Each structure stands twice: as C-alpha cells, then as structure tokens.
Chain A
Amino acid sequence: MTAKGLTGKRLRFILLAVLAGGLVLLAVLGPYIAPQDPLLGDASASLQPPSWEHLCGTDKLGRDVFSRILAGAGSSFSLTFLMVLLAALIGTAVGLMAGCCGGFTDSLLSRVTDVFLAFPSSVFAIAVAGILGAGVLNTVFALGLVWWTRYARLTRAAAMQLRERDFIWQARFGGAGEGRILLRYILPEVVPQVVTTISLDIGNMMMSLAGLSFLGLAAQPPAPEWGYMLYESRTYMQTAPWMMLFPGLALLITVIVFNLLGDSVRDMLDPSCR
C-alpha cells in the first residue's frame, strides 16, 4: 500500500467523521437552535411553502417544518444509538459465550440465534412492536431484539477462531482463567469488527426506526420524528411537497453520511483491507 493510498483513506475518514460529528452536534443542539416551537401550530400559516420565515415551509397544522426536522434529529439519533448499542451488547455477549464455551452452550445459543435470524427482521420488529403496543421505547426494544443476531454471529465466529490461536494457548498455559481470557484477550480482538458493524448499522437502524414510525408504531404524534413526519406528509404529497421533501432529505443525508463513515471505519480497522 502506498503512502498516498493511506492518506486518501485517512482523509476520507476524517472528512466523514467531521460530517457525522456535525450532524450529531446539530441533533444535540437541534431543540435549542430551532427557530420556532416545533409543536406549536398556527392554523393561519397552514401549508405555507418554503420562505425566509419558514425555511422548509409549514405543515398542515402550521408548524415550522425546519424546526421539526431539527427537533426530530435529537430523538432519531439518540434512539438509533441506543438501539445499536443495545443490539451490539446483547449480540457480543451471546456470541462470545457461544464461541468460547463451545459444546452444548454453543449449540443452544446458536440455535436461538438461528430462530431469530429466521424471521425477516422488519416483519419481526413490527410484530414485537405491535404486541408491546406503539411507543418509542417499545420500538427500541423491538429493534434491539431483532438486530443483535448479526453481532452474535460475528463475535462467535471470531471467538472460535481466536480460541485456537497460539497466544490464547500461551495465556491459558500461563494460568489465566477462562473469564480472564475472554475479557482480556478475546474481547479486544473482536472489538474492531463490532465497531465496524456498529458504524455500518447506524444508517440501517435509522431507516428502520423511521419505517416503524411511518407505520405508526414508534413515535406518536405530535412528536417531531422524521419517519412520522413523512407519514403525515403523505396526504399532501402533491399539494405541499415540501412537507415530504425536507424530512426525506434529512434522513437521506444522515443515512448516507453514516453509511460512508461505516465503510471508511471498516477500511481503517479491517486488517484484510489494509
């Protein structure tokens, strides 16, 4: 690999990290910098096209779409991160256990994972959210429950490979217990792969959350959530296209940035790509 290639990769990563950081910052500050109250409607300003006063126009109830997008970013981001972390934690724990213990534990955990994998993930999430009832926290739980399997698969495979490596045997001969080996030697080796998957997953997760909100299962009105805003705009697709365009654009940009960042993280961390 030439020096030029390395800098290119690093440059790309830095650029995307800055972009993603900017988006996160916007999401955190969103509710404070929103020019207008995202929940306060003004019937006389119903369905106004974009203008200097309303950068992205207004919705049917006369609420400022730009303010709602900003305010919605916060919940979209925090929920997405929460879900991905939840999935990664459950998945990594299960995968490590299965990979390191082997035998019956492995069979049991692997089969459970297979059962969860057998369902199409979004259908499964809809079912779980439907049973638990609509609501943001239920959806976080539902998506977390669906998503952990890929982390389990990933870490199990990695742990099984590592278990037979020389340095693990050396540690074992050195008197390290299984728990210590797991946490001290195997986990750190697995972390880069997990981090890569997390960064790749953020975009997907955000889409899934918006999808469930669109179906009325996650965010409930009047919460400014991107997916729900898209659902609301559906009726005004032709009469007030800005209601759909801007939340859609916000979602698109965010997902693209996080997906590219995920690719870039993989390029940086994955030894096989080095």
Chain B
Amino acid sequence: MKVNSEKRKWVAGLLTALLAATALSGCGGGAEETAAVSSDAASSDILRVAMFWVSTNLDPADGYNGWVLSRIGAGETLVRLNENAQPEGCIAESWQQTDENTWVFQIREGVTFSNGKPVDAAACKAAIERAFEENIRAEEYFSPSSIEAEGQTLTIHTSTPNGTLVYNLAEPLFTIVDTEVDEDTMDTAPVTTGPYQVTAFTPEQSVELSRNDQYWDGTPGVSGVSVYSVPDSESRVLAMQAGEADLTTTIDNTSLQLFSDESRYTVYETITPRVNVVYYNNASPLLSDVKMRQAVSYAADKDTYASLIGCAPATGLYSTALVCGQDVEDAYPYDPEAAKQLLDSMGYLDTDGDGIREKDGENIQFQYVIAADHGSSDSALIAQALQADLLEVGLGCNLVQTENMADIRAAGEYDFCSANDSTAPTADPEVFLLQHYYTGGSSNYQHYSNPEVDSLIDTLTATFDPDERQQLARQASEQILADAGSLYVGYIYGNTVVSSRVQGAEQFPIDYYIVTKDITLS
C-alpha cells in the first residue's frame, strides 16, 4: 500500500514535470513565433495605417466611399488639391475655360488603370457620368448638360455657369475608375489609377493594397499598404504606441503630447477647412427668434471651448484655411451681459427664482443632441461647457447623446446639434453654403432661410473671378452670422502621426489625401 502511494506520487510528479516542460516549451515557441511575425512586419515594406473610417464598400460613387479610396492612395481624380488647397493637375494635365459654360480638360498621356488599360477622355467621361447616375451629391458640385470625349480631350458643358467646377472635380466622388468592371469588383476592388491598388477588402474593417507598377508619376514608395479601421481615437493612439501602426490621423488634441518623442514619432499638423459647429434648429419654437439665437451666441465662451479641445477659436463661418475666413471680426464675442439684456428685452424672465428663465410660464429647456464625430469627444466637451455657460444667463439645456444623428436631424427633433463639418470640402467656399444655408439645401436640416443669402449664393455660383468669389462667400457668411444662423466654435487642426520608420508623409488641408506615393519606409 505504502509503496503504491509512493509510486503514485512519483508518477504524478513526473507527469507534472512533463506537463510543465511542454507548457514552457510551448510558450517559448509561441514567443519566438510572435517575435518573428512582428519583426517580419516591421522590416517588410508594408505601410500599416490605422484609419478612423473604412466604408462598407469601395465603390467611389456610393456615399462618401470615394473619400476612403482616395485616402488610402487608390483613387485619383482629374484635379487634386495641393498643400495650399489649390487645384493642380492629376489625371488631367491642364484645362481651360473656353466660354462660361464650357471647360476643356487635357487628359495626361501615359496614365493607365492598374489593370493596364489606358485612361483616355472616354474613360474619364464614363466615370464622371457614373457618379452622376449613382449619387445625388454630384448635382451639388456642377450640372453637366453634356460631356464630350475625343482622344485625350474631355469637354464638359455645364447647364449653368459654374465658377468652382475645377475645384469640385477634385472631390473623390469623381474618382476616375474603370467602369467596365462588374458591380462586385467595383464594390470590393475597384480598378483605379492611384499609386496603390486594392487587393483585398473586408467591409468596415480593412483594406489591403499593393503597389501599382503602372503608376504614371514615378514608383510609389512602399510595396504595399495595409489599412485597418480603428474608429476610436484613443485606440488609434494605442495602436501607434504598440507599434501596430506606422501611420494614423485625427488624434484627439490632448493625446498628441504622447507623441512628443521626436526620435520615435513625427506629428504633422495643419489648419483645415473643418469646423466644430453647433447648429441651431432655426425652425424650433425656441430658436426661430433671431434674438434668442443671438443671445445664445453671446453666452458661449467660444475661446475657452476652443482652447479646451485644441482648435483655433472661430470668429466666423469659414476656417482661416480659406481666404474668405481670414481676418473676420467675431460677430459674437463672449458677452453674457449682452445675452442677458437680449433675453430680458424679449420678456423671458426668471419669475420663480429657480435660475432658469421661463417662456409662457415654462422653463426654457433646449434639446442639445451630440454625437461623437470621428471617434472624438470634442462634441461632448463643447456641449457640457456650453450648457454651463447657458445656465449662467438663465437658459436650461438637456444633453442627449445619440448614434443616429441623421434621423434626429431629419425629424427636426432638436434645438442644438453638434457637428464637425468641412466648410470647403473641395477647398472652395460655395458648396458648404449651398448644402447648409441655401433654402432647401441638401444638408440644411437647421432650416436656415434668408432670401438675401440665397441670392448671394446664386451670384457666387455664376462668378468666376477667384477674388470676387471669396468676397461673395464672405458676404454670405457675414449675413448668416448676423442672423446667428449657427454657432461656430473652432477651426480644426488636422493631424497625422507617423512612426520613425515613415518618411515623406504630409498633412494636407483637404482631408482626401493620407497615403501618397511619396511615403517611404526605412
């Protein structure tokens, strides 16, 4: 009996030792393997990008998916917007306006799709016409009466004079894509002209790209790009720190200080046409009165909000990245006394002493809807700070977080809503006015309407002189501010963070370009 139990102990001990040894060796092997994989990834020529958004498909004519295609270095347009937000030739080598409704583009010789097919005027015409068929947004950029293609010459006739056509053709909606592929290919691996071509795509997760050996403008800097979706800003920070990504963008301002070690990271920052804005619902019972909107605008300490979230304080509608946004005087400098006087003059007084003014015997309570744009917490910060400032002047405000902002805006069930919008998606000030402030504009969910602004926008559309256009945009924006149409909080800095392996990255004022041919890895 005793021997038996002794034996058992031995066997058990042996087994344990064996198990431990196997476990340890297993661990060792695993560690070696991981090390091998990560060093492989680090030494290879693949650029890993942590992107804030990867779309559900890659068809450039569908929604804003063209933006994704452009950002990852696959899609290109006739014209692109350079580091000064000025148009320069891309697939089109040159262009000229022959009369007020006619533009002639010279398509560059030697540009081919990644499948080897040459890009001629007919291919460009097909791609642009497809954008008009598939996406209603196209109409907001220009309305072609006809497009003619002859060899390398593309002629666009517009139905009305359009001074911003060249800028607008840089919008990735008009990505030049091979239209002769089937729908499935268009959704998952569209054939484009950019420095990199899509080889694999997982909706909303990742895109794999390889170098386009046919590229017309020199050899692209890396052999491949691996893009994966990381919607949350803090997660992108962690991905960079863990060395899982070589490049990321749109990091919350507070977290940028984590990349101050210049031997490991480089941060590129530039002011963009993007703005942090609080849209007023101009049709809501409380805010339909211009005095009320002005009171709210005076009560907001915009400079403080801007410094909190790390953007440039807004004085007007357009960012200082645009000419029409420069040297604009603040129409509503922080002035709580002025706000109180306005509210008093409207007869909204706090009669029951609870600190909140009443309208028709009921406390004034605004409905303030917030959503996290680009995974950032900025909108929640602005909302809470504004809420506190409004309380100072006797206005109440409920904050509601939502995921489906579009539905709430469409239903008009709000007084204030947060947004992070580009005031010049194509570096030109017109489209933003048209979409957001023209009566019945496609994004005019704030129900702003002023015949004077409408006619200014009409004039702007038909004006070609660049200086005059900026002047007109400025006039329209001043009128909108006089009406206190919206509350502009700050102009947003765009940022790109890269690891020390990456050279040649750049932060463009227009956020269509992230992965470029100039990026190389060491």
* A residues at B contact (CB < 8 Å): 39-41, 43, 46-47, 60-61, 134, 216, 220-222, 232, 234-240
Residue among B254, B307, B388 making CB contact with A239, cutoff 8 Å: B254
CB <8 Å contact, B381 and A60: yes
Total A-B residue pairs with C-beta atoms closer than 8 Å? 57
Residue among B304, B308, B384 making CB contact with A222, cutoff 8 Å: B384
Please indicate the chain B residues that have their CB under 8 angstroms from the CB of A239 in the complex.
254-255, 257-258
Known: A235-B234, A237-B234. A61 touches B254 (CB 8 A): no
CB <8 Å contact, B385 and A41: yes
User: Does residue B25 face the partner (Cβ distance < 8 Å to A)?
Assistant: no
* B residues at A contact (CB < 8 Å): 233-234, 237, 252, 254-255, 257-258, 304, 307-308, 370, 377, 380-381, 383-385, 387-388, 398-402
Known: A60-B381, A235-B252, A235-B254. A39 touches B388 (CB 8 A): yes
Report the minimum CB–CB distance from B69 to chain A (whole Å).
29
Report the minimum CB–CB distance from B365 to chain A (whole Å).
13
A175 to B495, CA, bound (A): 82
CB <8 Å contact, B254 and A236: yes
Considering the complex, give the chain B residue whose CB is closest to the CB of A237: B234
Chain B CB count within 10 A is highest, among A234, A236, A239, for A239
Known: A60-B308, A61-B385, A222-B387. A235 touches B255 (CB 8 A): yes
CB <8 Å contact, A43 and B304: yes
Please indicate the chain A residues that have their CB under 8 angstroms from the CB of B388 in the complex.
39-41, 222
Q: What are 15 contact pairs spanning A and B, CB under 8 A?
A: A41-B385, A61-B381, A134-B402, A220-B399, A220-B400, A221-B380, A221-B384, A222-B388, A234-B234, A236-B255, A238-B237, A238-B255, A239-B254, A239-B257, A239-B258
A232 to B387, CA, bound (A): 17
Report the minimum CB–CB distance from A232 to chain B (whole Å).
7
Please indicate the chain A residues that have their CB under 8 angstroms from the CB of B400 in the complex.
134, 220
CB <8 Å contact, B258 and A238: yes
Known: A41-B384, A235-B233. A220 touches B398 (CB 8 A): yes
Considering the complex, give the chain A residue whose CB is closest to the CB of B388: A41
Considering the complex, give the chain A residue whose CB is closest to the CB of B232: A234
Report the minimum CB–CB distance from A211 to chain B (whole Å).
15
Residue among B252, B307, B399 making CB contact with A221, cutoff 8 Å: B399
Determine the main DSSP class of B at the interface with A. Answer: helix
Considering the complex, give the chain A residue whose CB is closest to the CB of B308: A43
Considering the complex, give the chain A residue whose CB is closest to the CB of B254: A239
A242 to B10, CA, bound (A): 52
Q: A41-B384, A239-B254 are in contact. List 15 more A-B contacts (CB 8 A).
A: A41-B388, A43-B307, A43-B308, A60-B308, A60-B377, A61-B381, A134-B402, A220-B400, A222-B384, A222-B399, A232-B380, A234-B234, A238-B255, A239-B255, A240-B254
Please indicate the chain A residues that have their CB under 8 angstroms from the CB of B387 in the complex.
222
Considering the complex, give the chain B residue whose CB is closest to the CB of A238: B258
Considering the complex, give the chain B residue whose CB is closest to the CB of A40: B388
CB <8 Å contact, A221 and B385: no
A60 to B402, CA, bound (A): 21
CB <8 Å contact, B401 and A221: yes
Please indicate the chain A residues that have their CB under 8 angstroms from the CB of B380 in the complex.
221, 232
Sorted nearest first, the 7 A-B pairs with minimum C-beta distance are A216-B401, A43-B304, A222-B384, A235-B377, A221-B399, A239-B254, A221-B384
Considering the complex, give the chain A residue whose CB is closest to the CB of B391: A39
Considering the complex, give the chain A residue whose CB is closest to the CB of B307: A43
Please indicate the chain A residues that have their CB under 8 angstroms from the CB of B377 in the complex.
60, 232, 235
A46 to B381, CA, bound (A): 12
A219 to B335, CA, bound (A): 31
Report the minimum CB–CB distance from A242 to chain B (whole Å).
14
Please indicate the chain B residues that have their CB under 8 angstroms from the CB of A232 in the complex.
377, 380
CB <8 Å contact, A61 and B399: no
Report the minimum CB–CB distance from A63 to chain B (whole Å).
9
Please indicate the chain A residues that have their CB under 8 angstroms from the CB of B234 in the complex.
234-235, 237
A239 to B384, CA, bound (A): 20
Considering the complex, give the chain A residue whose CB is closest to the CB of B371: A216
Report the minimum CB–CB distance from A57 to chain B (whole Å).
14
Please indicate the chain B residues that have their CB under 8 angstroms from the CB of A221 in the complex.
370, 380, 383-384, 399, 401
Considering the complex, give the chain A residue whose CB is closest to the CB of B303: A43
A255 to B377, CA, bound (A): 28
CB <8 Å contact, B401 and A134: yes
A47 to B255, CA, bound (A): 12
Considering the complex, give the chain A residue whose CB is closest to the CB of B252: A235
A234 to B384, CA, bound (A): 17
CB <8 Å contact, B401 and A220: yes
Report the minimum CB–CB distance from B194 to chain A (whole Å).
33
Report the minimum CB–CB distance from B309 to chain A (whole Å).
8
A238 to B255, CA, bound (A): 8
Please indicate the chain B residues that have their CB under 8 angstroms from the CB of A240 in the complex.
254
Considering the complex, give the chain A residue whose CB is closest to the CB of B402: A134
A239 to B255, CA, bound (A): 7
Please indicate the chain B residues that have their CB under 8 angstroms from the CB of A222 in the complex.
384, 387-388, 399
Considering the complex, give the chain A residue whose CB is closest to the CB of B301: A43
A43 to B386, CA, bound (A): 12
Please indicate the chain A residues that have their CB under 8 angstroms from the CB of B258 in the complex.
238-239
Report the minimum CB–CB distance from B356 to chain A (whole Å).
14
Report the minimum CB–CB distance from A45 to chain B (whole Å).
11
Report the minimum CB–CB distance from B8 to chain A (whole Å).
35
A221 to B381, CA, bound (A): 9
A47 to B309, CA, bound (A): 12
Considering the complex, give the chain B residue whose CB is closest to the CB of A130: B403
Please indicate the chain B residues that have their CB under 8 angstroms from the CB of A47 in the complex.
254
Please indicate the chain B residues that have their CB under 8 angstroms from the CB of A238 in the complex.
237, 255, 258
Considering the complex, give the chain A residue whose CB is closest to the CB of B309: A60
A158 to B229, CA, bound (A): 52
Please indicate the chain A residues that have their CB under 8 angstroms from the CB of B308 in the complex.
43, 46, 60-61
Please indicate the chain A residues that have their CB under 8 angstroms from the CB of B252 in the complex.
235
Report the minimum CB–CB distance from B307 to chain A (whole Å).
7
Report the minimum CB–CB distance from B391 to chain A (whole Å).
9
Considering the complex, give the chain A residue whose CB is closest to the CB of B256: A239
Report the minimum CB–CB distance from B102 to chain A (whole Å).
51
Please indicate the chain B residues that have their CB under 8 angstroms from the CB of A235 in the complex.
233-234, 252, 254-255, 377
Considering the complex, give the chain A residue whose CB is closest to the CB of B375: A235
Please indicate the chain B residues that have their CB under 8 angstroms from the CB of A134 in the complex.
400-402
Considering the complex, give the chain B residue whose CB is closest to the CB of A135: B400
